[in-house]
Chains A and B, each alone.
Chain A
Amino acid sequence: MIDFSVDDTGATGALILSGPLTIQHALPLKEALLRIGAEIKHVSVNLEQVSSLDLTALQLLCSAHRDWVKKGKKITREGTVPDIVNRVVREAGFAGCVGGEDAIGLWTGASN
């Protein structure tokens, strides 16, 4: 499930991803990520309930992450990164992808 909400100020968006994030869910995921428009200065990402993910989700998250960093958005993580996510990131060779800029602790495999 993909849940995106924006607070009253319109500047902070909370993206809560849960359940499977596989190719079947790639399009809705892209749409949700695109909703994080220019007006949102702070993105909070919660991956705690993600049960599985594949390369399509990794590519989308990686691309979105780069865009956000480029646009100077503040990115933070809510909750822990589940083991399954860390494992797929590691297995796909995405670990270490953005080095020190990994505020959501996804690409450096920083869980908990």
Chain B
Amino acid sequence: MAVEIDTSAFTEEAYELLSELEDSLLELEERPTDVELISRVFRAMHTIKGSGAMFGFDEVAKFTHEVETVFDMARSGSLPVTKALIDLTLAARDQIRSILDASRGGPPANQDNANRIIAGLRALAPQKGGGAAVAAESKASAPKADVEGPHVYRVRFEPRPEIFSSGTNPLLLLNELRDMGQCRVVALTNALPSLEDLDPERCYTQWEIFLTTSQGENAIRDVFIFVEDDCTLNVRLLDRDEIQEEAEPKKLGEILLERGDITEDALGKALTPLGDRLVSSGVVPADKVRAALTEQRVVQEQKQQQSKAAEVDAVVRVPSTKLDKLVNLVGELVTVQARLNQISGRLNNQNLQLVAEEIERLTAELRDNTMSIRMLAIGSTFNKFKRLVRDLSTELGKQIELTTAGADTELDKTVIDQLNDPLVHIIRNSIDHGIEKPDVRALTGKPLVGQIHLSAVHSGTSVLIQVKDDGKGLDPQLLRRKAVEKGLLSPDAVLSDSEAFMLIFGAGFSTAEKITNVSGRGVGMDVVRKSIESLRGTIDVQSALGLGTTITLKLPLTLAIIEGLLVGVNHDFFVLPLAAVEECVELSPKDIANSHGRRIVNVRGEIVPFIRIRERFAMEGERPVIEQIVIANVDGRRVGFGVDTVIGQHQTVIKNLGDSFQYSDEFSGATILGDGTVALLLDLARMVRYVEMQETKETGGA
């Protein structure tokens, strides 16, 4: 019977590894000699290859093996890390992604592309009659000696003083050990004579090497196979228990004692600081203490690695659909709990009230916990843009550095998922229209490398995401002129600079002289505005001509449950997002008379326009004598919303509204109240814009 294998675990992991691979490659481009980064790239590819083969993704395994083989040469130092290698490895990463996408029903991966990448990589490899490639290949596919994970070995290598005469360079042997895993090398130089007595062609140095590797002792001994007559070699597997036991790692004195470097008496005489005392009293040379300290550190590090691995094991992967369902259920529970509260209040039964309160507390805790599960750090989204900036700046002949801050900032998964496209558009725009070419920057005295800074920070119940560039900035006059030319603005309209900046988010608006592959069609920024609004977020643009532009996106932390202000109009209910609400004022008949038919309210001397919800949605019924105006901050302006009554704060579980409703654009959802009544959640920004558009139409654009 064929066994059906669930491959989703592999693909999920592979996507994560590919993202890690991309980040490491981009970092490696900046620090091409960083050995740890090279190893990280190699490890990511190695894991993709291994798990791919295990789960039957032979195409992934085969292709990755080819790439890994070449990258192994970089790891061993026989191939320098160049831009060409990074370019090809990035292309290979994209190719692996295409193969994975194809396995999930995406378009088939382009085999010609794969062949081109492999050919390119092979061309980079040192040509030694194919020897290097073959050697690396055999190393890459060498079986692992130990499936239980890496061991720590202590290797004592004592070459004979005459070893140089056989043409052996001991440092190359140490480097070979490095290729086998994580390696700490300590030179023991106590046999080094004074300069006068030193024969420069003799080797006086011995080594202790602490190697953390998955390979066995024989593989270590193989490194020294050609010098076995010229050296004394001692390989000892450090006791696994030493690493795994819960207790603290061995003390320095214990290690020195165990190794026979000091006697128990000598240790007893020496007090803290042990290492210094032992050295100054001449009991043990400094380098032996150094070697023992290194052993202590390596064992400690290995232990930390293992506990880290154990932490990873404690993570459970759950499909996001299950999480969405959980959030929905919690939403239902919040609604039912509100209903229970209402009923218990009405019945005035003390026992029932106690239970209702307890349920309220538990529900709140459950809600917060569930919400926190959905929170993800925005860092993974940020990392994607490094590649975008790299590729686009190269394409456009610009030099741009992307820096990020606040990658740990957490946001609801849904918000993060929907944030990618708007950020892509904003960053593309910065690269294409904002940052100037190096020659232009040089003329204006700016550094040749342009900067784009992407940051995220929590601000109350919102997250502020900022894209800041040091490019040429926005010209408010030009924006006004273009808007008038395109008929998007009446010629006599008066706009402040910040209002003019917001024109870039208008549909079909573009100041670009040329349409490029990157931007200029006036589509992208319109999409940005729509996406951010659909996330109930706002956009702010600050710009200084010649100095740069900062676009700030203000987004809610979550989309599932928000704090709202419940208001009543006639017999219906509406919810306004509480985060936007600033204050509530009364509107008396006298105020109405003073405003001479205009919908404005005087708030302590400040004139605030308002929208009467009853009129906006053509609702029936008489207005109360004293109306309530809820003043909210909409896109940086204070706007009032006229209602009959303000009921109070309400925990709003947002339900989606279908498109079939009239005015549905002006609502961002609905919520169910405790008694089962539906309340509509107002999208304040859209409502204001629609009202303004309608008024402009009515007054003929004047």
Q: Which residues of A contact B (CB under 8 A)?
A: 23, 26-27, 29-30, 33-34, 54-56, 58-60, 62-64, 66-67, 83, 88, 91-94, 96-97, 99
**How many angstroms from the CA of A91 to the CA of B172 in the assembled complex?**
9
Interface contact A60-B201, CB-CB below 8 Å: no
* Chain A residues near B424 (CB-CB < 8 A): none
Q: Which of B184-202 contact A (CB under 8 A)?
A: 185-187, 189, 192-196, 198, 200-201
15 A-B contacts (beta carbon < 8 Å): A23-B200, A26-B200, A54-B169, A55-B171, A56-B201, A59-B189, A60-B200, A63-B193, A63-B195, A91-B175, A93-B208, A94-B189, A97-B189, A97-B287, A97-B290
Instruction: Report Cα–Cα, A58/B169, bound state, in Å.
Output: 13
B170, B171, B186, B195 — which one has the most chain A CB atoms within 10 A of its CB? B195
Which residues on the B side are within 8 Å of A91 (C-beta)?
Answer: 171, 174-175, 178, 185
Distance between Cα atoms of A91 and B175 in the complex (Å): 7
Could you tell me if A59 and B205 are in contact, using CB atoms closer than 8 angstroms?
yes
Q: Does B204 contact A (CB under 8 A)?
A: yes
Structural contact, A30 and B195, CB atoms closer than 8 A: yes
Instruction: Please report the C-alpha to C-alpha distance between residue A58 and residue B196 in the assembled complex, in whole angstroms.
Output: 15
Contact B189 A60 (CB under 8 A): no
Q: In the assembly, what is the distance between CA of A33 and CA of B201, in Å?
A: 15
Say whether B611 faces chain A, with CB atoms less than 8 Å apart: no
Q: Distance (Å) between the CB of B190 and the closest chain A CB?
A: 11
A5 to B207, CA, bound (A): 35
Q: What CA separation (Å) do A34 and B197 show in the bound complex?
A: 11
CB distance from A68 to the nearest CB of B (A): 9
Residues of A within 8 A of B663 (CB): none
Please give me the residue from chain A that is nearest to B184 by CB atom. A93
Residue among A56, A64, A83 facing the most chain B CB atoms (10 A cut-off): A56
Residues on A with C-beta less than 8 A from B170 are 55
Across-interface contacts of B194 in A (CB, < 8 A): 63, 66-67
Given contacts A55-B171, A56-B200, A60-B200, contact A96 B195 (CB under 8 A): no
Min CB–CB distance B74 → chain A (angstroms): 16
Nearest 4 A/B pairs, CB to CB: A26-B200, A93-B185, A93-B187, A63-B195
Across the interface, do B193 and A26 meet the contact criterion of CB distance under 8 Å? no
B161 nearest CB across to chain A (Å): 11
| Shortest distance from the beta carbon of B287 to any chain A beta carbon, whole Å | 7
Name the residue on B nearest A27 (C-beta): B200
Tell me the complex Cα distance, A33–B196, Å: 9
How far apart are the CA atoms of A59 and B187 in the complex, in Å? 11
* Among A30, A34, A64, A97, contact of B187 (Cβ-Cβ < 8 Å): A97
| Closest B residue to A29 using CB positions | B200
| A29→B201 CA distance, assembly (Å) | 12
Contact B203 A55 (CB under 8 A): yes
**Once the chains are docked, how many angstroms separate the CA of A66 from the CA of B190?**
11
CA distance A97 to B205 in the complex (A): 12
When the two chains form their complex, are residues B174 and A59 in contact, meaning their CB atoms are under 8 A apart?
no
Q: How far is the CA of A99 from the CA of B290 in the complex (A)?
A: 10
> Which residues of chain B in 306-363 are interfacial with respect to chain A, using CB atoms and an 8 Å cutoff?
none
| Residue of chain A at shortest CB distance from B178 | A91
- Contact pattern, B 35-47, Cβ under 8 Å of A = 1, otherwise 0: 0000000000000
Q: Chain A residues near B175 (CB, 8 Å)?
A: 91
Task: Let me know if B690 is at the binding interface, CB within 8 A.
Answer: no
**Residues of chain A within 8 A of B33, CB atoms compared:** 83
Which of B33, B200, B204, B205 has the most CB atoms of chain A within a 10 A radius of its CB?
Answer: B200
> Which of A34, A54, A55, A64 counts the most B-chain CB atoms under 10 A from its CB?
A55
Bound complex: CA of A54 vs CA of B186, how far in Å?
A: 16
Q: Which residue of A lies closest to B186 (CB)?
A: A93
Whether B200 contacts A55 by the Cβ 8 Å rule is no
Nearest-neighbour CB distance to chain B for A28, whole angstroms, equals 9
- Kindly state the separation between the CA atoms of A64 and B208 in the bound complex, as whole angstroms: 23
B169 touches A59 (CB 8 A): no
Contacts of A83 in B (CB 8 A): 33
Residues in B whose Cβ lies below 8 Å from that of A67: 194-195
What's the least CB distance linking A78 to chain B, in Å?
21
From B170, which residue of chain A is reached at the shortest CB distance? A55
Per the bound structure, the CA–CA distance linking A23 and B164 in Å amounts to 9
- B204 close to A59 (CB less than 8 A): yes
B147-164 CB mask vs A (1 if < 8 Å, else 0) is 000000000000000001
Which residue of the partner chain A has the closest CB to B192? A63
- Cβ contact within 8 Å between A92 and B198: no
Contact A26 B201, CB 8 Å, known A34-B195, A55-B171: yes
Looking at B194, B198, B201, B209, which has the most chain A CB atoms within 10 Å of its CB?
A: B198
Of the listed residues A27, A59, A94, A97, the one surrounded by the most CB atoms of chain B closer than 10 A to its CB is A59
CA distance A26 to B175 in the complex (A): 22
Output the least CB separation between B201 and chain A (Å): 6
Contacts of A99 in B (CB 8 A): 286
A55–B195 CB distance below 8 A? no
A58→B164 CA distance, assembly (Å): 14
Residues of A within 8 A of B186 (CB): 93
> Is the CB–CB distance between B187 and A92 below 8 Å?
yes
A55 touches B205 (CB 8 A): yes
User: What's the least CB distance linking A81 to chain B, in Å?
Assistant: 15
Q: How many Å lie between the Cα of A56 and that of B174 in the bound state? A: 15
Report the Cα distance A27→B202, complex, angstroms: 11
Q: Does B200 contact A59, Cβ atoms closer than 8 Å?
A: yes
Identify the closest chain A residue to B33 (Cβ): A83
Shortest Cβ gap from A58 to chain B (Å): 8
Shortest distance in angstroms between B173's beta carbon and chain A's nearest beta carbon? 11
CA distance A67 to B286 in the complex (A): 16
CA distance A96 to B193 in the complex (A): 19
Interfacial chain B residues near A27, Cβ < 8 Å: 200-201
Contact status A96-B290, CB under 8 Å: yes
B286: A residues at CB distance < 8 A = 99
Chain B neighbourhood of A29, CB < 8 A: 200
Given A54-B169, A56-B164, are A62 and B189 also a contact pair (CB < 8 Å)? yes
Q: Which residues of A contact B171 (CB under 8 A)?
A: 54-55, 88, 91-92
Least CB distance from A98 to B in Å reads 8
Within 8 Å CB of A59, what residues of B? 189, 192, 198, 200, 203-205
Chain B residue numbers with a CB within 8 Å of A92 are: 171, 174, 185, 187, 205
Indicate if the CB atoms of B207 and A93 lie closer than 8 Å: yes
Complex contact B192–A66 (CB within 8 A): yes
Give, as a whole number of angstroms, the nearest-CB distance from A90 to chain B. 8
